Structure 1
Amino acid sequence: MTTVPTTSVPTTVLVTGATGYIGGRLVPRLLEAGYRVRVMVRTPERLRDVPWAGDVEILQGDLTDPAAVRTACDGVDVLYYLVHSMGAGGDFEATERASAHAVADGAAAAGVSRIVYLGGLHPAEGKLSPHLRSRQAVGRILLESGVPTVALQAGVVIGSGSTSFEMIRHLTDVLPYMPAPKWVRNLIQPIAVRDVLYYLIQAAELPPEVNRSFDIGGPDVLRYGQMMNGYALEAGLRQRPIAALPVLTPWLAAQWVNLVTPIPRRLAIPIIESLQYDCVMHDNDIDGYIPPPPGGLTGYRRAVSLALGRMRDGEVETSWQNATVGRSSADGASSNALPSDPDWAGHLVYTDLRERRTSAAPADLWRVIESIGGENGWYSFPLAWALRGWMDKIVGGVGLRRGRLHPDRLHTGDALDFWRVERIDRGRLLRLRAEMRVPGRAWLEMEAEPAADDDGSVYRQRAVFFPRGLGGRLYWWAILPFHGVIFAGMANRITAAAVKPVASTKPAASPPELGGAGM
């Protein structure tokens, strides 16, 4: 939930790092709170598909260029410093120091009223990893800039797209047994991304005499291994046995993470190096300046549930394509993926996409789509999918016997063999959610649209599968050879049937388990 500042709203806010994980989620909340937002990015094209791009002023520039920073700071009241060079090659510490000095000098010269910086939780004493050492150095430079600065220090941020969370997600999803470095026993105080965003917005309104760092974290202090198994429970997986192996150095552990997850090694190494330390709050001073969010801080399990696209209250689960993207809302939309997130972020998704051109009119093509299933069948390899229906019944699923309520009309929520109609835009789109027993979540989408030259129509068919754990991945790859036959045949026969519209048939009292299609 976005909290609108209670004092006067600054005219202009400058956000650096708007193409990053936190920045991309902060900008729409600032807009919602009534701020005028300016962003400074090196590559504006990365913002092309985000929903708020047309609502902000976009400046192209590099933070290591003092002149570009000075220009970006003109007329700015609050500056958010949300960039880091984690995973960058070369001397990234020197690059981060140069950027911090340019921002500190530019903000001071432009008369900026407040800098808000997001750094990392770290031990008060002792040797730090290069990543944490650099985060600490940047905070110190900004605090000494002469511009009132709040340096928020957070540990593992829980939300889809956060590199730390994605490492937990992918490791737990893939491995039924986890050999892990000894740092799985270290203590971590994770924080939900929605709570990080709350603190960032509230920090902009602190009085000018506040110039200091604050630790922020969620209500739970857990060992890293407990975080993995907490994720497993929320994802519907069995808890994973974890063996802490002292021989796994940070470098070796990073190679292992790179091998079994899509996270690049250049990002895995600094994260793993930082996890060698306990990452917990040293004090709760933040409570004396910014009260906890309404309803309290988000617990770890709740944060994971939101990151997975679920709501515990009422057991509502969002579908794969109707989650709110890039906006703040009570259902935790800030935890979902954004177009600017890296390709490896978010839930692993397998898809099978088919497209066919047909001379049939869109209305005739739609008539075939809406009459699919039940006695009309699924236009593809009936015997194989009858077997799939019988197998589903054997393991306690619904099988194919439900048929359909009406021979040629569907409505949202209708049962359709072992599918459920999740969405229907009559004349254009039919989306079905699988209710057969599969190790994951599956959808089948069929779409009819007029051809670009108004001669006939285009049929699009997409199967989408979210695997659950290693079993889900193995399941998809096991049935992949059949997709070329089943889904291709389905697309071919549906478009062929549309050329000559089929007559409706009355549903049988007990539809036979023939002609079904499933994942």
Structure 2
Amino acid sequence: MHHEEATSTRRPRCLVTGATGYIGGRLVPELLADGYRVRCLARSPGKLRDHPWADRTEVVRGDVTDAAAVAQAMRDVDVAYYLVHALGTGKEFEDTDRRAARIFGERAEAAGVRRIVYLGGLTPTGVPERDLSPHLRSRAEVARILLASGVPTAVLRAAVVIGSGSASFEMLRYLTERLPVMVTPSWVRTRIQPIAVRDVLRLLAGCAGLPATVNRAFDIGGPDVLTYRDMMVRYARVAGLPRRLILPVPVLTPGLSSLWVGLVTPVPASIARPLTESLRHEVVCHENDIARYVPDAPGHPLGFEQAVRLALRRVREAEVATRWSSAAVPGAPSDPLPTDPGWAGGSLYTDHRETAVDAPVRELWRVIEGVGGENGWYSLPLAWSLRGLLDRLAGGVGLRRGRRDAERLRVGDSLDFWRVEEIQPGRLLRLRAEMRLPGLAWLELCAEPDGAGRSRYRQRALFHPHGLLGHAYWRGVCPFHAVVFGAMARNIARAAAQRAAAPVR
């Protein structure tokens, strides 16, 4: 039976490389929703297990530089997505990218794959390839190798992708949020055509159905052409930050720029440097031919500010705590994923305490569910009263609201200057702060069994700062946390033990 005949009797299968990465992890559910079977090639398959779609995919362990693993992954594949690059792996990343692309193209042709789809970088016109930054030069070379592989290939060339987790977007986020006044490199004047991650995924998924005659590159971008400075100003506006003062200077070379970015942001230097080097090039789309094959959906492509608004949505909805929770289940391409790097998603400060409790979980839970109101917060009542007074002076609610019921809580209850955001009975109480703060804050209280009738108490305070004032606030209150939160953890554990030891009446 010919390959064409075989594919007509079954659902097409897509191979996704880079499923643990930013784009790949978001593309998989899009393909599944479109009815494709999906196989993932991953060096560390264990990283995929927390994705809600993990049990609906096949996984092959391997690396794109491992020809045998790539050949195994290509079996019975119709469309192969090449979404990996060696950026951040060292100075030899161009050689690694070149070798991997050749293996991928050769194995795809040998397996009878009918389509390769590659997400590359938007390159400036009129600039010789040798004069491009190493990052863009490598992306262009990979595209050339795949287009010459003998397998019809669609290369989507994008500039800055706007979405939580994108390295380019995270650089923009941290620079804008942490620096109200910036002395910046001259590349802030470079014109860029950013694109929302939702549009990237829509186009990538649509390319699976391209005619076999299509073997070319397509420029993809959003409707806005902006300088990097424009993007920082507009990001600040969407995020509700004061207007940023940006002063470009010509003396910062790409190398110095990457050091500057490294000081301000947690994005690794091995990623930040090639990205900042690329920013010296103007990257603007010169055609929109992809729309002939994958028509724009209503309301798409998304504008820059709408894309940023979606990227910040979890913060806006005060759900950011789930980004760092094992229970996090992303609901949209703009939302964080379990496999996103630790520096993605914005800053989150934490104060974590845990202690063994000489009491069963049920007694510990009774103490946890009884916090606040007349029962107090189990540490330094004067300090809590002072914090409540300061909140009232700032126009907040203070501690005067108390609690609805002395023993039981439910989601949505007010609890002094907190709001009950989540309850998992007998296990987890999550409170969201409603006090006046330069950011968003949560307090998590957890009870876990610890064997032999004992339990373990875990307590976590989380703070997502808003602008430079938010960072300053956290650093200012940090010295008090050891006293207040430390005493709280000890006293809750002691109260649970005392309840367990009290005689039954």
Taking structure 1 as the reference length, what is the TM-score of the superposition? 0.89
2:225 corresponds to 1:221: yes
Partner of 1:469: 467
CA distance in 1 between partners of 2:197 and 2:114 (Å):
25
Instruction: State the SS of the aligned residue for 1:278.
Output: coil
> Mean Cα displacement is larger for which, 418-427 or 199-208?
418-427
Partner of 1:359: 358
> Mean Cα displacement is larger for which, 60-69 or 16-25?
60-69
The alpha-carbon distance between structure 1 residues 245 and 350, as it changes in their structure 2 partners (threshold 3 A), is same
Partner of 1:512: none
**Correspondences of 1:417-432 after superposition (within 5 Å):** 417-432=416-431
Task: Quote how far apart the aligned CAs of 1:501 are.
Answer: 4.2
Task: Quote how far apart the aligned CAs of 1:144 are.
Answer: 1.8
On the 8 A contact 1:24/1:326 being kept in 2, the answer is: no
CA distance in 1 between partners of 2:9 and 2:135 (Å):
36
Q: Residue type matched to 2:23 in 1?
A: I
2:264 corresponds to 1:260: yes
Task: Quote how far apart the aligned CAs of 1:63 are.
Answer: 2.4
On the 8 A contact 1:122/1:279 being kept in 2, the answer is: yes
Gaps of 5+ in 2: 1-7, 501-505
2:342 corresponds to 1:339: no
CA distance in 1 between partners of 2:358 and 2:95 (Å):
62
Q: Deviations over 1:107-148 (max 9, x none)?
A: 112111101010011112113212111111111221122211
> Mean Cα displacement is larger for which, 395-404 or 194-203?
395-404
Task: Quote how far apart the aligned CAs of 1:52 are.
Answer: 3.3
CA distance in 1 between partners of 2:342 and 2:487 (Å):
31
Q: 1:186 aligns with which of 178, 186, 190?
A: 190
Instruction: State the SS of the aligned residue for 1:291.
Output: coil
Instruction: State the SS of the aligned residue for 1:458.
Output: strand
Partner of 2:313: 309
Task: Quote how far apart the aligned CAs of 1:40 are.
Answer: 1.8
CA distance in 1 between partners of 2:91 and 2:387 (Å):
54
CA distance in 2 between partners of 1:203 and 1:186 (Å):
30
CA distance in 1 between partners of 2:9 and 2:391 (Å):
60
Task: Quote how far apart the aligned CAs of 1:434 are.
Answer: 0.3
Q: Residue type matched to 2:87 in 1?
A: M
On the 8 A contact 1:325/1:334 being kept in 2, the answer is: no
On the 8 A contact 1:403/1:417 being kept in 2, the answer is: yes
On the 8 A contact 2:412/2:421 being kept in 1, the answer is: yes
2:401 corresponds to 1:397: no
Gaps of 5+ in 1: 1-6, 503-519
On the 8 A contact 1:9/1:35 being kept in 2, the answer is: no
On the 8 A contact 2:318/2:440 being kept in 1, the answer is: no
Q: Deviations over 1:245-301 (max 9, x none)?
A: 000111110011111211111111110111111121111211111111343222212
Task: Quote how far apart the aligned CAs of 1:31 are.
Answer: 2.3
CA distance in 2 between partners of 1:344 and 1:280 (Å):
28
Task: Quote how far apart the aligned CAs of 1:423 are.
Answer: 1.4
On the 8 A contact 1:173/1:468 being kept in 2, the answer is: yes
- Superposed CA RMSD in Å reads 2.2
CA distance in 1 between partners of 2:410 and 2:339 (Å):
35
2:151 corresponds to 1:147: yes
Partner of 1:22: 23
CA distance in 2 between partners of 1:243 and 1:186 (Å):
14
Q: Residue type matched to 2:118 in 1?
A: Y
The alpha-carbon distance between structure 1 residues 173 and 90, as it changes in their structure 2 partners (threshold 3 A), is same
CA distance in 2 between partners of 1:153 and 1:9 (Å):
31
Q: Residue type matched to 1:29 in 2?
A: E
Task: Quote how far apart the aligned CAs of 1:449 are.
Answer: 3.1
Task: Quote how far apart the aligned CAs of 1:44 are.
Answer: 3.1
On the 8 A contact 2:314/2:320 being kept in 1, the answer is: no
2:156 corresponds to 1:157: no
More helix by share: 2
**Correspondences of 1:476-495 after superposition (within 5 Å):** 476-495=474-493
Partner of 2:437: 438
Partner of 1:509: none
Partner of 1:98: 99
Q: Deviations over 1:433-456 (max 9, x none)?
A: 001111110011112233333x13
On the 8 A contact 1:19/1:340 being kept in 2, the answer is: yes
CA distance in 2 between partners of 1:256 and 1:245 (Å):
13
Task: Quote how far apart the aligned CAs of 1:465 are.
Answer: 0.8
Q: Residue type matched to 2:37 in 1?
A: R
Partner of 1:506: none
Partner of 1:457: 455
Instruction: State the SS of the aligned residue for 1:85.
Output: coil
Paired residues, number: 488
> Mean Cα displacement is larger for which, 227-236 or 302-311?
302-311
Q: 1:278 aligns with which of 258, 276, 282?
A: 282
Instruction: State the SS of the aligned residue for 2:40.
Output: strand
Q: Deviations over 1:205-228 (max 9, x none)?
A: 111111111111112221111211
CA distance in 1 between partners of 2:255 and 2:357 (Å):
55
Task: Quote how far apart the aligned CAs of 1:182 are.
Answer: 1.0
On the 8 A contact 2:322/2:328 being kept in 1, the answer is: no
Q: Residue type matched to 2:278 in 1?
A: S
Partner of 2:410: 411
Q: Deviations over 1:146-179 (max 9, x none)?
A: 2111110111011111110110111112112111
CA distance in 1 between partners of 2:408 and 2:267 (Å):
45
Task: Quote how far apart the aligned CAs of 1:497 are.
Answer: 1.9
Partner of 2:77: 76
Instruction: State the SS of the aligned residue for 1:257.
Output: helix
> Mean Cα displacement is larger for which, 433-442 or 473-482?
473-482
Task: Quote how far apart the aligned CAs of 1:316 are.
Answer: 4.6
Q: Residue type matched to 1:485 in 2?
A: V
Q: Deviations over 1:369-397 (max 9, x none)?
A: 22211122111111122111111111111
Task: Quote how far apart the aligned CAs of 1:10 are.
Answer: 4.6
On the 8 A contact 1:181/1:248 being kept in 2, the answer is: yes
